[in-house]
Chains A and B, each alone.
Chain A
Amino acid sequence: MTGALSRVFPIATVVAAIMVVWYGFTVYLNAPWQTDRYEKAGIEWQMGDLVRDTMAQERPILPAPHQIVAEIWKTTVQKKITSKRSLIFHGSVTLSSTLLGFAMGTILGIGLAVSIVENQAMDKSLMPWIITSQTIPILAIAPMIIVVLNAVGLSGLLPKAMISTYLSFFPVVVGMVKGLRSPDPMHIDLMRTYKASRMQMFWKLRLPASVPFLFASMKVAIAISLVGAIVGELPTGAVAGLGARLLAGSYYGQTIQIWSALISAACMAAILVGVVGVISHVTLKRMGLRT
């Protein structure tokens, strides 16, 4: 119990400190506009009024945390899911392309890793280019790819998912290659003394050994494919998705809307990574690995 407490307490302190700083900045950043307004209206004001009013502006420079929470509450629980203003609706659009892209990226990554480990020519010629592929800022050109794919008639889920795929295959390849090569020479020698074929070596030794590495990379991959999906939504003309909410918010100066989309994206990322973590924990436990 004390162990858990000693872990949670520092985190809680840091989060609390962030909240305090945030509220401080809310007052500080929103104050000029508010005092300007008081002067125009000729209102006498006290410090207490200022603090209260800076946290209740409709389009603040920095919204207070409770305003964001209220907005999220309003747009998730109090709106119908089918409504265009429901964050659940937008979130589910983003989530579906995230998951599709993540699945495609993982499968692609595993396939590439297997071919790299099993074939030396693939290793030498592919690996440098896979690393180079990630130095291209794909996120930055994602909107263009979406627009071009839309022009050919590919629209909806798939183009966004392809951005996520491009981003998420990389950690999986790197992790899986490391994992498939992780069995130590002793084990490989043991398999050889059993006269194991290449296939048997792969299925019975290399693949099981790579599972912990696979899950570690999948955690990175799912977070990154969410980012890909959000950026992929930016140019679709603000139709649907958390990215579209961000863009619409920035067009109309709705800062609370931007922040609420941002915070929900953050929560979604945390939940997705958490789910992968739980699956990883359960699987590794059933495989008899210490976690």
Chain B
Amino acid sequence: MTGFQRAIATIGGIAALLASYFAVGDAGAGGIGLVVASLALAAVGLRHHFGIMPQARLDLAASLAGMVLLLSMLDGEMPAASWLFLVACWLSGWLAVEKSLAARSLSQVMSSAVSLAVPVFFGAWIIFVWEVLTIGLEIPTVLLPPPSMIAVRFAESTSILWADFQQTVIKAALSGYIMGCGSAFIIAILIDRIPFLQRGLLPVGNFISALPIVGIAPIMVMWFGFDWQSKAAVVVVMTFFPMLVNTVAGLQATQAMERDLLRTYASSYFQLLIKLRLPTAAPFIFNALKINSTLALIGAIVAEFFGTPIVGLGFRISTEVGRMNVDMVWAEIVVAALAGSLSYGLLSLLERQVTFWHPSNRRKVQ
């Protein structure tokens, strides 16, 4: 047990004790439950000073039980005691994480389970705190709706969300992404053969990928009309240069030794390309693909602000903001975030399959 862990435990215990003190002060109908729970939490936090049952499991259970209790008594304004209780729960959860990460004698399976569970636990806490804060502080829903309200709205309007998803993500972003990345990939392989173009195009490409390209959205809408084609065009331009620059850099990443070896095997240009240079370039290419997956979504949604048919994520966001239906806007944001995270995750998985040999993907040897 480190000093830091002991400090967390002590502060948590004191916060829980204070919570029980205040809860006794203004004990309402549900007050008794809070008093008992706070005392229990204080006992869990302060037990470390007496060396009783130091397992992380107990802290985790205390934290989860506290979350459930707070959720069950959540309506409108919350008394001071429950805020202290929230802090104590948070610290208890943190302590559980600290302890389980510090544990040394964990099996391979257990330690990978812990490193997966910790971020999930943290995410659950963020959503929980969001819910408690918005309801407990009575924040107007126009400003920030609680997650439960967003979830209800999401479940109610799946058909609208699906239509918007198809319009923006599948038609505009995905088609633009494939065209942009594909053409950049082919051009990169072509200019790779001409050093002069390389030296000229790379700085220009680097420059352009730092530019605010979203700004061309109004121009593209003017040129290609209101439907998804104009959005796809924006996406093509946005994704083109990162892909070009990264692919060219990746194709140059081979070492002279490796190239010489293949040359001694009398390999042709295409054999050299396919067996050595493209695999070496793969980490660079995947890097660009990942960057582009978010850029494509951004481009498609922002372009919809400049004119669109009456469907699409960007259209829905801008109109529902105007109608103050912020929960619908958040539901759309959830769709966008899911699409973004999902594509990123899929690309990472694919990358791990393709570049299994790369040092960053090899299992660490202890």
Contact = CB atoms under 8 A, between A and B. Distances in A.
A76 B337 CA distance: 40
Given A140-B301, A249-B218, A262-B216, A151 B317 contact: no
B122 interface: yes
A174 to B, nearest CB: 12
Nearest to A123: B101
Interface of A: 6-7, 10-15, 18, 61, 120-121, 124-129, 131-132, 134-137, 139-141, 143-144, 147-148, 151-152, 220, 223, 226-227, 230-231, 234-235, 243, 246-247, 249-250, 253, 255, 258-259, 261-262, 265-266, 269-270, 273
A131 B219 CA distance: 32
8 contacts: A10-B197, A61-B223, A120-B98, A140-B297, A231-B214, A231-B302, A250-B221, A250-B306
Nearest to B115: A124
Nearest to A15: B204
Contact of B215 (A125, A137, A152, A265): A265
A108 to B, nearest CB: 17
Nearest to A226: B212
A289 B143 CA distance: 49
Contacts of B214: 139, 227, 230-231
Nearest to A265: B212
Contacts of B336: 136-137, 140-141
Contacts of A151: 142-143
B97 A61 contact: no
A10 B196 CA distance: 6
A273 B222 contact: no
Nearest to B304: A140
B182 to A, nearest CB: 21
Interface string B126-167: 100000000000000011100000000000000000000000
Contacts of B223: 61
Nearest to B307: A250
Contacts of A61: 222-223
Contacts of B61: none
B302 A139 contact: yes
B274 to A, nearest CB: 28
B313 interface: yes
Given A135-B341, A255-B222, A143 B297 contact: no
Contact of A124 (B119, B204, B340): B119
Interface in B180-219: 196-201, 203-204, 207, 210-212, 214-216, 218-219
B124 to A, nearest CB: 11
Contacts of A262: 212, 215-216
A250 B222 contact: yes
A139 to B, nearest CB: 5
B313 A121 contact: no
Contacts, number: 152
A128 B123 CA distance: 10
B318 interface: yes
Contacts of A127: 119
Interface string B3-22: 00000000000000000000
Contacts of A255: 219, 222
Given A61-B222, A124-B101, A223 B210 contact: yes
B94 interface: yes
B34 to A, nearest CB: 27
Contact of B200 (A14, A124, A132): A14
A79 B101 CA distance: 62
Contacts of A234: 305
A258 B214 CA distance: 12
A249 B318 CA distance: 19
Contacts of A250: 218-219, 221-222, 306
Given A140-B314, A143-B318, A231-B214, A124 B97 contact: yes
Given A129-B126, A140-B297, A231-B214, A14 B314 contact: no
Given A13-B200, A151-B142, A234-B305, A144 B321 contact: yes
B99 to A, nearest CB: 9
B211 A265 contact: yes
B215 A261 contact: yes
B333 interface: yes
B290 to A, nearest CB: 9
A6 B199 CA distance: 9
B118 interface: yes
B340 A137 contact: yes
A128 B119 contact: yes
Nearest to A7: B199
